[in-house]
């Protein structure tokens, strides 16, 4: 009887493990799927060691293009840069969405490359990401009251998410952390802030949630959105199951330019228990993300004994058609599978008991 019971328990565990998703949104955020690549364009007649410069960029999501201003003047990237300036030499960073940032040319190339790829805040983030749930980057504005509220809401949001973490699908060693920046940080963090869509320092307090390999959850939040608890809503999605019904764009948010060395990759593997860039892992993630979803995503996910209504996500964005969300179908399917598995288990146990009674 004990042997039959053990088999039944193992079968039930197998059923539940098949139904559960292997990855969380946070874990998928570390992968190289749909990686955003920035292009660093160098227009210079004097470049002699472009291969060495490219080697310096190999650990970042940055592609180096060294072009001759005369021989390559017909190149689309050269034309895009020369539309902004004719002064040579010129260095420019082009974002995946086509935005362009002109860089200084009066410093050593190695220093320039380091500034494009890394900065004090980005260095801290990439060292933090493997073991930390997410980072809330807060940008202080001109209003003292707003800045105080920003700090208060950011700390409260992080504490609320820390309390939710025990109920999330996967354990993360550390909860979300808050980083604060002010106008004095503009020069050192110009590339990072430009990649967030900020051409100059904001006058209003803002915040952005960053996770995974430098991915942005949602958008840069205005002060009003911060006051409306959007930070909790955004962070709750990071800990969600990868098949929770979120749209692909929320699981693979826009990325900032970021170094990601082998040491960070190894530390991440130690923390999550697998290599996110293993081809088999990437194939499985890709299969999951290939499932199209129509779920909205700003109402946040709940983690606890209460029922989660995914149809309330992104409540402020009204769907065009009042159709049943695929996320609701997924939840219903999981419940039906669970009930079916439980029913099978009960029947198996009942049959075993009947057989045993007859044998006695």
At a CB cut-off of 8 Å and minimum separation 6, what does 131 contact? 172, 173, 174, 267, 271
Condensed to tens digits (0 to 9), the pLDDT of residues 284-295 reads 888 877 764 434
> pLDDT at residue 187 above 80?
yes
Q: What is the pLDDT of residue 21?
A: 56
> pLDDT at residue 180 above 80?
yes
Average pLDDT of 4-10?
41
Average pLDDT of 85-90?
87
Residue 276 CA to residue 316 CA, distance in Å, equals 33
- Long-range contacts from 310-314, C-beta under 8 angstroms, 24+ separation: 310/244, 310/245, 313/245, 313/246
Average pLDDT of 20-35?
84
Q: What is the pLDDT of residue 344?
A: 66
Residue 57: band (very low, low, confident or very high) from pLDDT cuts 50, 70, 90: confident
Condensed to tens digits (0 to 9), the pLDDT of residues 125-169 reads 999 999 999 999 999 999 999 999 999 999 999 999 999 999 998
> pLDDT at residue 305 above 80?
no
Average pLDDT of 238-249?
70
Closest to 303 in 3D by CA, of 255, 240, 345, 258: 240
Angle of helix 230-238 versus helix 144-164 axis, rounded to 10: 30
Q: What are phi and psi of 308, to 5 degrees?
A: -95, 125
Q: What is the pLDDT of residue 50?
A: 76
């Amino acid at each position: 009887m004990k042997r039959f019971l053990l088999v039944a328990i193992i079968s039930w565990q197998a059923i539940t493990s098949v139904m559960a998703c292997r990855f969380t949104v946070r874990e998928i955020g570390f992968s190289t799927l749909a990686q955003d690549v920035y292009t660093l364009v160098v227009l210079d007649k004097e470049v002699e060691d472009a291969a060495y410069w490219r080697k310096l960029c190999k650990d970042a999501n940055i592609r180096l293009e060294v072009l001759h201003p005369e021989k390559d003047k017909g190149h689309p990237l050269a034309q895009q840069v020369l539309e902004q300036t004719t002064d040579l030499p010129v260095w420019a960073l082009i974002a995946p969405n086509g935005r362009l940032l002109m860089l200084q040319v009066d410093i050593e190339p190695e220093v320039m490359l380091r500034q494009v790829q890394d900065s004090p805040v980005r260095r801290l983030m990439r060292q933090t990401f493997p073991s930390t749930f997410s980072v809330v980057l807060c940008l202080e504005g001109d209003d003292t009251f707003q800045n105080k509220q920003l700090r208060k809401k950011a700390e409260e949001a992080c504490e609320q998410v820390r309390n939710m973490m025990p109920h999330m699908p996967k354990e993360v060693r550390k909860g979300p952390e808050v980083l604060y920046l002010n106008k004095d940080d503009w020069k050192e963090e110009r590339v990072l802030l430009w990649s967030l869509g900020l051409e100059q320092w904001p006058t209003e307090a803002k915040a952005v949630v960053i996770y995974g390999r430098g991915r942005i959850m949602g958008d840069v939040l205005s002060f009003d959105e911060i006051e409306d608890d959007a930070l909790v809503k955004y962070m709750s999605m990071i800990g969600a199951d990868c098949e929770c019904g979120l749209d692909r764009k929320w699981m693979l948010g826009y990325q900032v330019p970021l170094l990601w060395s082998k040491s960070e990759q190894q530390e991440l593997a130690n923390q999550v228990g697998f290599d996110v860039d293993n081809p088999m892992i990437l194939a499985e993630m890709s299969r999951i993300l290939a499932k199209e979803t129509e779920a909205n995503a700003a109402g946040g996910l709940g983690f606890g004994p209460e029922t989660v209504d995914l149809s309330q996500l992104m409540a402020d964005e009204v769907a065009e058609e009042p159709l049943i969300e695929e996320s609701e179908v997924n939840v219903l399917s999981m419940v039906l599978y669970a009930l079916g598995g439980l029913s099978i288990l009960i029947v198996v146990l009942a049959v075993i008991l009947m057989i045993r009674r007859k044998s006695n």
